[in-house]
Structure 1
Amino acid sequence: MIHPAIIKKQRLIMLSLIIFIVLTVIMSMGLGHSTVSYDRLIPTIFGQGTFKEEFVLFSIRLPRIIITLLAGMALALSGAIFQEVTRNDLAEPGIIGINAGAGVAISVFFLYVPIDVRSFVYWLPVVAFIGAILTSCLIYVFSYKKNVGLNPVRLVLVGVGFSMAMSGAMIVIISSAERQKVDFIAKWLSGNIWGTDWPFIWAILPWLVVLIPYTLYKSQRLNLLRLSDSVAIGVGLSVEKERITLLLTAVALASSCVSVTGAIAFIGLLAPHLARGFIGPRNQLFLPITILLGGWLLLFADTIARNIIGIPAGIVTALIGAPYFIYLLSKKP
């Protein structure tokens, strides 16, 4: 039984995050090289703007805002699942090599597979998922010890090694590619949000519509998986089945989003930690906060990166997240 005061606190935090998201969306809609003044936003949204204002808002700004918001939500939730299932607060899809595995698959697909322009966008999440699954299987195998199980610290170390190996593989793959295709992959590596058209939203939306509610439904099982295997088995939980199912969910969430946003890291590390600090470790309480917080973090990072600093959003998230990762690593015994 969750105390009503804690539920009230959760709702207040979620309401505050929704307000932050709305304010950031408004700020992002009014910033950019082609200015749409803030007093013209509402008339333009309701179809009373000029052709230029409507084009800038509906064809350039809004798709990018929605993509970053959705991707941030999915990456944060993916990181939370990894941390709960592996019982490792340092686990995150960008750090342990899942994103890099998806990137290698996308690079091979983009460079060597004949592309049908009409279906290219919709194949990207599928290709990224295949690459991420293969990478996660290898990481799981190398991190697992017989009679011991999954070693949390070993998982991070193996994942970091695979991430570096996959990044090196991408450089080798693109070394003989055409200049135009190399530029695309370089943007992906730097975390430059590139999938900024409406088709990219329709490509990843079905994945998130299914996987986010599914994860929230499994929140109680995540609580049990955070405990020892013996306790989880004692209450009747099929540990290996739930672990594999939820890990597949986390991989699918991360890979589908990085396929259109590029190599965004540390959102899945920061958001779950901050959410737990706000409301505590119960998944029923902190997962909804994690989702909203992840969406706002990536949206805010992209807004600042694109309009003020002029660098990819992935670099901004790395500048914020890397020191926090080092801090958490230093606290590990």
Structure 2
Amino acid sequence: ITGINVIQQFRQEKRIQTKFEDIANAQLKTRMKLVKMNALLLSPLTSLLYNVAIAISLIYFGFPTRSVFVAAGVIYAFSNYIQSFFNPISSMMDSLTSFTDGIVAGKRIFKILDEDELEPQQKVDPKAKIELGKIEFKHVSFSYDGKNDVLHDISFTLEPGQTLGIVGHTGSGKSSIINIMMRFYEFHSGEILLDGHDIRSFSPEELRKKLGLVLQEPFMFYGDIKSNIRLYNQEISDKAVIQAAKQVQADGFIEQLPDKYDSKVIEGGSEFSSGQRQLISFARTLVTNPKILVLDEATANVDTETETLIQKGLKQLRQGRTTLAIAHRLSTIKDADKIIVLDKGRIVEMGNHVELLNQKGYYYDLYRLQQDRG
């Protein structure tokens, strides 16, 4: 269902439908075998054993050669005892299907519980607060599997209010820098300092409050535009929501909607264009007034006109905020105070736009290639 657009675009409906029917039929056959096994073996077998036990007891108590008379109440009570003995067995047999399903589900749950990846731990210092937004990476190395480093000896300093552009080919380590700075993963060596404090000394609440992240693929939740911007944080007023939307140029299309900020949003926001969803994502981040903005290829999926609107909004919003921007379109970071170029997890070039062009290295070649395509 999620990929229905791609399926229709490449006219794969018949193949996918056939594949789906094969899987559904295989599951149906398996379920039918299970039902037949229950019908032919489990319940009938339990009933047979119960009836045999009753028959044996009646034969025993009613055997003609017995010299002692057995009261009817004793026989009745014994029959009830036999029934009470078989009731748990019958219940267990009836629940056998659910039990086997539970075993399969349990294996999947234990597989998740056995995952040894741990949340990065913070040694919280109550005095550690992000007030200026200065960022320092000192000889930071990082590996996802503990064996192969994806970042090697990364070092740079970003003063409060400055913008850093991060450039490199796919797999060069751009997003990994964001992941460790947002504390999604633990880095293994080096230091990351925010306003002079080790990043491990901040509380998770302080980091999430002062660091604002905008991803390449924004997700919208079921509700309305207003709730998608404030994300159900009732401390954020309607006035702040509207102001954030205006700052990122999102109010232009919101005001044209029938219910404006109260317009309904279905899960995923498929009724909006990718550019409109991204603008709302910008407003969602900026309404929290973060001290540090992190943009992970935030303009990669928007059209040129929408990108122009975003750039106008960001130019104003970057004032007083430190910004890290991963970008494939080099035109979006031309005005960055500093640009680092990554290759295989290492910084191979560093400087501003003009300085990097004058070096005529990796950045120069990439910029010329994009200009030729344009």
TM-score past 0.5 threshold: no
Q: Which has the larger Rg?
A: 2
Higher relative contact order (CA closer than 8 Å, sequence separation 6+): 1
Q: In proportion to residue count, which structure has more strand?
A: 2
TM-score range, shorter chain: under 0.3
Q: In proportion to residue count, which structure has more helix?
A: 1
- TM-score, L = length of structure 1: 0.21
- TM-score, L = length of structure 2: 0.19
